[in-house]
Amino acid sequence: SALCPQWPYCRKRCSYCNFNKYVVPAVDEAAVRACLVREARTLLRLSQVQSVTSVFFGGGTPSLASPSTIAAVLEAIAAAAHLPAGAEVTLEANPSSAGTPRLAGFRAAGVNRLSIGVQSLDDTELRLLGREHTAAEAQGAVEAARVLFPGRTSIDLLFGLPGQSWGTWARGLEAALGLCDDHISLYQLTLERGTALAAQVWGGALPAPPQDLLADMYQTAHAMLVAAGFRHYEVSNFARKGALSAHNLSYWRAEQYIGVGPGAHGRFVPQGEGGCSREARVQTLEPDAWMQEVQSRGHGTRRRVVLSPLEQ
């Protein structure tokens, strides 16, 4: 199984994001760490998974967690199942919380792959998206990460922003190609209900990009990246020099994955309690409620649905 621990906290709310995230004055990190450790142990026991193939720390902004929290979760996983020495361990990071000392701490904790939320290398676009970093800070974070995680530093980029032209996107991607390592994730912006950016577009304050333009942007990106030696191995992901994400591929191959933390999703067979069918599981969304559930019964699974063969 793959394993997906979630750190649900962010420093600010980006204008486009509707992920399960929380901006709070202070985080009781020791309590969150203890609950992540306990839930990982419980769900690994329930699943009777023998080996963990990859670990992906998502969020929220997991680079806001301390390296000691990341290390504690990895130690718990390794104690409950086999975690091979070369298993892919990815951490999502924001450029604003990805300084060299912090990244070195994550590497020492056991992280061996970084996914950096660059999103854009244009300061105007970054302001539109509500990001707290600048293009220069993003560049510095990627350069620092590539020193510590050579060949295993991925960057995320968004396209299809309100008002973005084909030329602006092509130039931004060209700049990203001059900066990136061997993996790029490209995501077409989705206007999500409840976000500030969606309200601006649907209210007429910002233009919605035409569908044909979005298609052209995607095809242009594909052509540019393939010409630069990247393999388009998944809808949003491109890699060269064999730097495909094992974790991304585990989803596409319908392998089991265990979600740990507030709002995490999982798909596994709970063999430890007599289950023989794959289940879709969702953990409790709100962190304090999730922690109470983990403390009382070992895990915070809020929803379980047995998947039919057709659904699988």
User: Is 311 part of a structural domain of the chain?
Assistant: no
Residue 71 CB neighbours (<10 A): 17
What is the pLDDT, as a whole number, of residue 111?
98
User: Is 92 part of a structural domain of the chain?
Assistant: yes
What is the pLDDT, as a whole number, of residue 98?
87
User: Is 312 part of a structural domain of the chain?
Assistant: no
CB burial string 162-192: b at 16+ within 10 A, e below: bebeeebbbebbeebeeebbbbbbbebbebe
Q: What is the pLDDT of residues 53-68, one digit of tens each?
A: 999 999 999 999 999 9
Taking residues 171-196, what's their average pLDDT? Answer: 96
Residue 56 CB neighbours (<10 A): 24
Q: What is the pTM of this model?
A: 0.96
What is the pLDDT, as a whole number, of residue 114?
98
**If you ran DSSP here, which 8-state letter would residue 97 be given?**
G
Evaluate if residue 155 carries a pLDDT over 90. yes
CA distances from 225 to 3, 150, 159, 163, 239 (A): 29, 19, 14, 23, 9
CATH number of 21's domain: 3.80.30.20
User: Is 157 part of a structural domain of the chain?
Assistant: yes
User: Is 254 part of a structural domain of the chain?
Assistant: yes
- In this structure, the strands spanning 279-283 and 88-93 are unpaired
User: Is 257 part of a structural domain of the chain?
Assistant: yes
If you write DSSP's letter for every residue of 224-271 in order, what string do you get?
Answer: HHHHTT-EEEETTEEESTT---HHHHHHHTT--EEEESTT-EEEE--G
Per the structure, the count of domains in the chain is 1
Mean pLDDT of the chain: 96
Task: Beginning with the edge strand found earlier in the chain, give each strand of the sheet holding 113-119 in spatial order.
Answer: 231-234, 237-239, 183-188, 153-159, 113-119, 88-93, 54-59, 2-7, 257-260, 265-268, 279-283, 301-306
User: Is 170 part of a structural domain of the chain?
Assistant: yes
What is the Cα–Cα distance from 121 to 124, expressed in whole angstroms? 9
Evaluate if residue 233 carries a pLDDT over 90. yes
User: Is 238 part of a structural domain of the chain?
Assistant: yes
Give me the domain span that covers residue 115.
2-306
